[in-house]
Amino acid sequence: MTHPGNPIARALDLGLIAGAWLFVPAGERMEWWREWRAELWQARHEHACDGRVTWPSERALFSFCLGAYQDALCLRRLERRTRPAHRVRFGAAWQCVLLLVILLGASYALSRVLPGVRAQQKLARVSTRPGLVLIQDVNNEDSPATISSGQYRAWKDRKQEFFDDFAFYRVTRENVRWPQHDDSGWGVARASSNFFSLVGLPVQPVSAESRIVLSESAWRKEFGANPDIAGSEVLLGSRRVTIVGVVPDGAWLSMWDTDSRRSARAVRCTCSW
């Protein structure tokens, strides 16, 4: 196939038509491009002057190529008018609103089932301090550290502090016994004494004595939601501890599945720092 006319002028014309091609509906672009290339070839063949660029012929070809834009826009308009599938799929405005309401309802129902979301909802009901930083023991292999020990030391030694307090916690697995029950393994978070005040929970460790705070699920599961549980003693490993209260699941941390939270003195917290 021969290409009549000057190659640079031909490339410019093709570029013009390629610009119009962008306006053509996607499904018709291939055929449209093929037709316009053939028509341009024909137009160039009719206006060719032995390979020379002449102003009148190039002007005529330029006008011809500009027509491609009108053609492309016409196809676009026609395509918009004949789009029944699109209308059926998205429907009227009230159908969209109904669909949105159904989706929102389904999302809410799903959120009621997912345990992580439920824990977050319970957490939202507890007032926690903004900008709270909880630092977990890095030696705990079961769970990742929130920051490294190096970062912690850097924060601790810095004179200009961006925080006003630290609290430690460490999640371990320990055997727990209480009267008339067999041993059972609990996930226990050992925390520093300022922990509850830092996260905003109304639990006050009043003495050096070991005390334990139950999560709501552990309280219901292990103690049958006994309302008189406060003051009872359980054996945590070899230590006797007193139950001082119950907090909602995920009230201070939603990421760890712990059965109890033990309040202890900072010096007795088994942290590696």
Q: Does 51 bind other proteins (CB under 8 A)?
A: no
Q: Does 10 bind other proteins (CB under 8 A)?
A: no
Nearest to other proteins of 16, 251 (CB atom): 16
- Show the tokens assigned to 168: 């430690």
Q: Work out whether strand 135-136 and strand 211-215 pair parallel, antiparallel, or are unpaired.
A: unpaired
Nearest to other proteins of 43, 119 (CB atom): 43
Q: Residue 29: count other Cβ atoms within 10 Å of its Cβ.
A: 15
Q: Does 19 bind other proteins (CB under 8 A)?
A: no
- Show the tokens assigned to 149: 């020990």
Q: What angle do CA 54, 56, 59 make, to 5 degrees?
A: 105
Interface residue with other proteins among 13, 16, 58, 71 (CB under 8 A) is 71
Nearest to other proteins of 30, 103 (CB atom): 30
Q: Work out whether strand 135-136 and strand 184-191 pair parallel, antiparallel, or are unpaired.
A: unpaired
What is the distance between the alpha carbons of residues 42 and 31, in angstroms, rounded to a whole number?
A: 17
Interface residue with other proteins among 21, 23, 33, 69 (CB under 8 A) is 69
Q: Does 67 bind other proteins (CB under 8 A)?
A: yes
| Whether the Cβ atoms of residue 46 and residue 26 lie closer than 8 Å to each other | no
Residues in touch with other proteins (CB under 8 A): 1-2, 31, 34-35, 37-39, 41-43, 45-46, 63-71, 73-75, 78, 82
